[in-house]
Amino acid sequence: MIIDVNTRIWTNLDQLGSKTAERLRSKKTERWGQFDASLPAHEKAMSSIDGALVFGYRSELQGAHIPNELVAEFVGKNPRRRIGVAGIDPMSPDAMDQIDKAVGLGLLALTISPACQGFHPSHSSAMRIYDRCVELSMPLFVTMSSPLTPDSVLEFGRPLLWDEVIRSFPKLPIVFSEIGQPWIDETLLLLSKHDHVYADISGVASRPWQLYNALLNANSYHVMEKLLFGSGFPYDVPEKVIELLYTVNAFSQGTQLPSIPRSQIRGIVERDSLSCLGIDAEITSLKQADDMERMLPTEIEYLAERASVNAGNVQ
């Protein structure tokens, strides 16, 4: 079974905040492309996998609000394929009320972004949120929303700032998006230290050289089993991310560089993320987890060759 643990929807770019929307519309950020995060686009992108977690988002600092009600409505149209994750801003005066409403909407997890919401992970208001997550058995997703804007507080995005939080709430499942980039090694260290800390590969997968090195380091830290599959939709789509994963060893072909065991790559793609995070939801399998494995050798070689060529453009 393939579960995408990092996807978003929105109906208007302005729901991401005026500065973020401006950057996405600006020619200065053409590398972001024109992203379609509409509900039909999400449904189409997830058609090749079994299920997806759909995130809401809220930041008082950035004036951003992807309503939890929108997420709940979308999830409710196909609950066997989608799981809702509430976007909560711990700095909002009504943050605790937001959680209660999210529970009432049937959302099963929370997502926050310290850098984009402007708070230290161990801020007293945030600690109350974590305590409530433990009470409700709701896992916590920590994101670094892209593209970053000048008002984002980068120092609050460092994974090591979470060590105190995790020591205080050792049973709370926490997932760092994008393996905590740009502090990937800090994230891997946390994964090796704490039992219930995970990371998803969204974002990193679109940078093949970075992905290759991140997986090598994860292997050396013995935490490959704590990496979860995530596309970061709409910035990427599951099908492309799976292809990038299965061709990541293109860098090592014909060289002395080590390669990532194929079994470990498949483990990321097919990991039972819901069980890892204690999410009680029934997802109907599409029985497509073996699609990439069944590809003809010539197809795999072609993808590896293409990835090798593309690697030359990676900075």
User: For the whole model, what pTM was predicted?
Assistant: 0.88
Average pLDDT, the chain: 90
Which domains are present in the chain?
3-311 (3.20.20.140)
DSSP 285: P
Residues ≥6 apart with Cβ < 8 Å to 2: 49, 50, 51, 229, 238, 242, 269, 270, 288, 289
Question: pLDDT at position 294, please?
Answer: 53
Provide the pLDDT confidence category of residue 243 given band limits of 50, 70 and 90: very high
**pLDDT tens string 17-44:** 988 888 888 755 545 545 789 999 999 9
Question: pLDDT at position 26, please?
Answer: 76
**pLDDT tens string 257-309:** 999 999 999 999 999 999 999 999 988 877 544 444 555 445 545 555 554 55
Provide the pLDDT confidence category of residue 158 given band limits of 50, 70 and 90: very high
Outline where 179-296 has alpha helix (H).
184-193, 208-220, 238-246, 262-270, 273-277
Q: Is residue 67 classed exposed, middle or buried when 0-12, 13-18 and 19+ CB atoms within 10 A define those classes?
A: middle
Q: How far is CA 40 from CA 3, 21, 36, 146, 235, in A?
A: 18, 20, 9, 22, 15
